[in-house]
Every structure is written in structure tokens, then in C-alpha cells.
Amino acid sequence: MKIDHVAIAVNNLDEAVKEYQKVLGINEVEFETVETEGVRVAILHLNNSRIELMEATKESSPIKKFLETRGEGLHHIALETEKIENEVDRMKGNGVRFLGDVRPGSRGTKITFIHPKSLHGVLTELCSHPK
Ligand code: CO
């Protein structure tokens, strides 16, 4: 596995992007809305991974709830794996808890989330990219 991205929940995506771009010295940024997850995402490309800033797109978004209870900050880390279904099966066999089944993410990826209680407080996404 490798770290695919680190995701940060923010109140105002456009403001946060400007600040992150300035601090990190990054010009290019891609925006993407994942309506099924209730988020709009700004992707900042680093050498071998990405930082994703996320804002809620609707009241029922899980990000909205997160921001209200925890405030802005680290939301999840994402680990890339080649065969996500195999990893999920292996982990479930070891008692790991998941938030939802493997499902389509952005850009043809497949994603699911490991419950933070299974990883000492860190919400962790598993993702696999299309070949
Ligand atoms: Co993510």
C-alpha cells in the first residue's frame, strides 16, 4: 500500500485552496464534486501523493457534520491498494470495521472507509485506481 492522499475538511473551499496554494507554492489545482459523498474537492498534487481539501455540498453531507462537531482539520488518510476487494475481505476476517461497502469514488476509483475505531481514531479510506 501507499498513501494516496490526505483529506482535510474545510469550511470554505475557495479560501482554503488559495491559502494552501500560497503556503505550498502550488499553482495547479483540480476541482471535483463527488455528489454521492456530498463533497466538493480541491486536489493539490504533490510528488507522490495528493492533498485533498473538501467542503460539504449539502446539509446532509458527512463533512458538514464533521465540521460542526470537530471543526476544520484532518478528515481522513487514503491508502491505495491494487485489489481492494481482497484487502477488504482480509481485513474483515481480522475483525476490521468498515463504513459502507466498496463503491465507486471519483475518476473510476473504487473506495471504502475503515472505521476510525479500528485504527486508533484515524478514518482511513482504501482506494484502488483503474488499470
Ligand atoms: Co479521500
What is the average pLDDT value for the chain, to the nearest integer? Answer: 95
CATH architecture, domain defined by 2-128: Roll (3.10)
**What's the mean pLDDT in 69-98?**
97
**What's the mean pLDDT in 84-113?**
94
Alpha helices in the chain, H assignment, sequence order: 13-24, 62-70, 84-93
Distance 66 CA to ligand 1 centre (A): 14
Q: What is the pLDDT of residue 102?
A: 96
pLDDT over threshold 90, residue 99: yes
Q: What is the pLDDT of residue 34?
A: 86
* Extended strands (E) in 22-89: 30-34, 39-45, 50-56, 73-80
pLDDT over threshold 90, residue 130: no
d(CA 123, CA 54): 15
Distance 52 CA to ligand 1 centre (A): 7
pLDDT over threshold 90, residue 69: yes
Residues 85, 7 contacting (CB under 8 angstroms): no
pLDDT over threshold 90, residue 37: no
C-alpha cell at 105: 469514488
**What's the mean pLDDT in 86-115?**
94
Q: What is the pLDDT of residue 23?
A: 97
pLDDT over threshold 80, residue 131: no
pLDDT over threshold 90, residue 111: yes
Surrounding residues of ion ligand 1, Cβ less than 5 A: 7, 78, 125
